Structure 1
Amino acid sequence: MTLLTDPAAIVGLVTREVRTGSRDGAPTKIAVARRSYPTDQSDLWDALTAVERIPRWFLPVSGDLRVGGHYQIEGNAGGVVEQCEEPKRFAVTWEMGPQVSWLEITLTPADDGTLLELTHEAHVDTELWSQFGPGAVGVGWDLALMGLGLHLSSGTAVDPVEAMAFTTTPEGAAFVRAAAVGWADAAVGDGDESTVAHAAAERTVGFYTAAPEDDHRSR
């Protein structure tokens, strides 16, 4: 991540939105992140969906990436490919243990390249939302979108060791804090109380910037 010299500027490339919704009769929270990339739609689609290319900016993925197929991201979520309209959009379930949420990616040509919109919808876990707010999932996607940008700009793979350690560096901590505040502001825009939302953002910062020996994300 040595290319990241201005964390605040990179965070500012993403616009964030939080919506309240419902699915299967139960309330949901929807985190929306948008970022433009200076590449064409087909190249961005390939970076997002090609098994050999995804690990260059994210994590290795295995399984059947066709509609109806099951996928598994190494050390992370798995799920089912529900929809795919190449090169415009795809939708998958995002499953970690008993928790199931829904992820949709949409690509739209733009004057400066291609606009990526990521939508992640989950049933409301009141305790988790009170503790971390949308930053619990949102900051993780900010980190992924940053990695994607680094890969697209250089054409090479992001160093996985450097990526894993990034959030414990001063630049990484600054990135996480700016992203968490951005998600807190988005939650306030959806009706959350500002003090509560920003307190949750501070806990999110601690979650993501914990040193490896103290990192509770793996537990």
Structure 2
Amino acid sequence: MQINAVRRQVKARTLEAGEARVVAVSQTFDAPIDDVWDACTNAERIPRWFLPVSGELRLGGKYQLEGNAGGTVEQCDPPNAFSATWEFGGEVSWIEVWLAADPEGGTRLNVEHIAHVDQVRWAEFGPGAVGIGWDMILMGLAGYLSTAGLSIDPKEALAWQLSEEGRRFSAESSERWRVASVAAGTDPAEAQGAADRVFAAYTGGAPDPDQQTPAQETPDQAAADQ
């Protein structure tokens, strides 16, 4: 199950401009590192599992994802790592991506999304604000790499997000980010409230109390999962 294939962690980092929040995801794909790198950095392949992208995907180049973030490629070390600004809605955050051959086979992809987020907004939506989005991105990449390059239609992907299956995925993702947030030290009640609000933001409604979601984990169990 895709939702179980992702490792999630909430961290903090000190930047020159002050404290920043870090949402981290990682997943192993059954594909060689060169193929995963190309899928993530080739402008012809990215739209097959995510969104159309324009610009120059090279060191110092600027990119723009259609209807989403844009930015500047700040570091690039093929096929191992790249970093870029992630600019959206007048705000700037950063992504760091690195790949490594997994000892058990395949390629491990790690992503850290770093942002300055004020306490009010963090308390309102928590890590799921970007975490659910990254879960959906990894799901698209996993499906693409496992089906010999089968492309997805962004419009169909949006419709799926609002479908019953998509709502279940968002609920499960939100719950996993709640667990990661508690493991990072967030008060459980605050983490639950943020999880409920971010689910509503993604789906336009409150979670179904009868809907099956992953079992509640203690912070120690969540930390072990990381």
**Fold match, TM over 0.5?**
yes
Displacement of 1:184 in angstroms is 1.2
| 1:149 matches 2:124 | no
In structure 2, how many angstroms separate the alpha carbons of the residues matched to 1:176 and 1:129?
18
Q: Secondary structure at the match of 1:12?
A: helix
- Partner residue, 1:37: 29
Q: Secondary structure at the match of 2:57?
A: coil
| 1:84 matches 2:52 | no
- Partner residue, 2:131: 138
Which one is further off, 184-193 or 47-56?
A: 184-193
| 1:12 matches 2:12 | no
| 1:165 matches 2:159 | yes
Q: Secondary structure at the match of 1:199?
A: helix
Displacement of 1:94 in angstroms is 0.3
Displacement of 1:150 in angstroms is 0.8
RCO higher in 1 or 2 (8 Å CA, sep ≥ 6)? 1
In structure 2, how many angstroms separate the alpha carbons of the residues matched to 1:206 and 1:198?
13
Displacement of 1:112 in angstroms is 2.7
Q: Secondary structure at the match of 2:145?
A: helix
Displacement of 1:124 in angstroms is 2.0
- Partner residue, 1:67: 59
Displacement of 1:210 in angstroms is 2.1
In structure 1, how many angstroms separate the alpha carbons of the residues matched to 2:58 and 2:8?
29
Which ranges of structure 2 fall in alignment gaps of 5 or more residues?
A: 206-226
- Backbone CA RMSD of aligned residues: 1.1
Query: 2:146 is aligned with what amino acid?
Result: S
- Partner residue, 1:201: 195
In structure 2, how many angstroms separate the alpha carbons of the residues matched to 1:114 and 1:184?
27
Aligned residues: 203
Deviations 1:163-200 (A, max 9, x none): 01112111111111111111111111111101111111
In structure 2, how many angstroms separate the alpha carbons of the residues matched to 1:117 and 1:130?
25
Displacement of 1:141 in angstroms is 0.6
4+ aligned runs moved over 6 Å, structure 1: none
Displacement of 1:109 in angstroms is 0.4
Displacement of 1:21 in angstroms is 1.6
Deviations 1:57-113 (A, max 9, x none): 000111111111111111111111000000001000001132110101110101230
In structure 1, how many angstroms separate the alpha carbons of the residues matched to 2:165 and 2:49?
18
Contact 2:42 / 2:57 at 8 angstroms: preserved in 1? no
